[in-house]
Amino acid sequence: ADKTSQYTIGFSQCIGSDLWRRTMLDEMRMELSLHPDAQFIYADADGNSSKQVEQVKKMLDDGVDLLIISPNEAQPLTGIVEQTYNKGIPVIVIDRKTSSALYTAYVGADNYQIGKMAGEYAGALLKGRGNVVEVMGLPGSSPAIERDRGFSDGLRKYTDINITDRIYGDWLKDSAKKQLTRIAPVIKNADVIFAHNDVMALGTREVLDKFKIHGTKVLGVDALPGHGGGLQMVASKTINASMLYPTGGKEAIMTAFRILNKESFARENLLQSVVIDSANVQLMKMQWSKISSQQKDIERQRTLLTEQREVYNSQQLVLNVIVMS
Ligand code: FRU
């Protein structure tokens, strides 16, 4: 057994049900399987910040050795994260941030850069002229704030591009659709609509189709592989481009064990992003199917290993019985 065996890691997820966060959890579990004796406590706050605070309190009562958290909104979760940190329990913040610098490590992509990349991409797409609408995430959640700031900065040099409206879609498809329907006259004149995630980008396309608005370019964020993910949406031209937003699940668990084992670790773990559009989407899909088939091989080998260990153990048992009789 490795020296990590006694550890309990708590993971507080802001909302667990979407594909992006299920992918994050899969990545975590994959990495955790290399530490079979460690305990993992998982709680899903369903997009409710006060519920998330309660769930973290419960984890502290249960005696976690380290907390990983993706705060639903920055402000409401800041207090409990600071308390955890001040108790001497290491905290890894993943994807969304609090409003405080009191945390042990951060894992995630640079959301300001992602917004900026989207702005520059939109500017080039429009050749410097046109109308843009922005569908933002949940107010008060850090990626929504940072992507919005980055997007404005990315468009700043394009003086003939106007952001004609900015609405909140709360990261959810239905909320985005509702808000876009409300501003239907504005989206009729939009050349590009940038949604802060692919789920809302899909909702955007559905609203455009419903109003028979054609030719509007839709940009999103996440670019997840697999069924229903952004890569597929780009490949099928449902959306025009997506900014890759890696989940960081694997990196968070790796960082957790480095901290727990008192090894050196980076405080800021910034993950790379890239624009996925029709020019590189096929390549990305191919890379992903290769990785996922290798992943399946690894899982098969692990099952085989467990089976062989069981056979070995039962043979040992038989041997002991023979020796003793
Ligand atoms: C998933 C999600 C992603 C987005 C991220 C921002 O819950 O909405 O689509 O990129 O959260 O925190």
The per-residue pLDDT for 55 is 98
The per-residue pLDDT for 319 is 87
The C-alpha atoms of residue 226 and residue 28 are separated, in whole angstroms, by 18
CA-to-CA separations, 318 to 200, 212, 307, 315, in angstroms, rounded: 60, 73, 17, 5
Q: What is the pLDDT of residues 192-225, one digit of tens each?
A: 999 999 999 999 999 999 999 999 999 999 999 9
Identify the band that residue 5 occupies on the pLDDT scale cut at 50, 70 and 90: low
Report the Cα–Cα distance between both ends of the chain, in Å, rounded: 32
- Extended beta strands in 223-285, E state: 241-244, 268-271, 275-277
The residue whose CA has the least distance to atom 8 of ligand 1 is 171
CA of 223 to the centre of ligand 1 (A): 11
* Token reading at 151: 């997007």
* 120 Cβ below 6 A of ligand 1: no
Task: Note the pTM of the prediction, 2 decimals.
Answer: 0.92
Mutation test residue for ligand 1: of 13, 97, 222, 233, the one with most atoms within 8 Å of CB? 222
What mean pLDDT do residues 61-66 have?
97
Q: What is the pLDDT of residues 117-129, one digit of tens each?
A: 999 999 999 999 9
DSSP secondary structure string, 42-92?
EEE-TT-HHHHHHHHHHHHHTT-SEEEE--SSHHHHHHHHHHHHHTT--EE
What mean pLDDT do residues 157-166 have?
97
CA 111 centroid distance within chain: 11
Q: What is the pLDDT of residues 75-95, one digit of tens each?
A: 999 999 999 999 999 999 999
Mutation test residue for ligand 1: of 27, 77, 95, 173, the one with most atoms within 8 Å of CB? 95
* 72 Cβ below 6 A of ligand 1: no
What mean pLDDT do residues 10-33 have?
96
The per-residue pLDDT for 302 is 86
Q: What is the pLDDT of residues 232-245, one digit of tens each?
A: 999 999 999 999 99
Q: Which residues contact 210 (CB under 8 A, 6 or more apart)?
A: none
What ipTM score was computed for the predicted complex, to two decimals? 0.97
The per-residue pLDDT for 317 is 87
* Residues 117/154, Cβ–Cβ less than 8 Å: yes
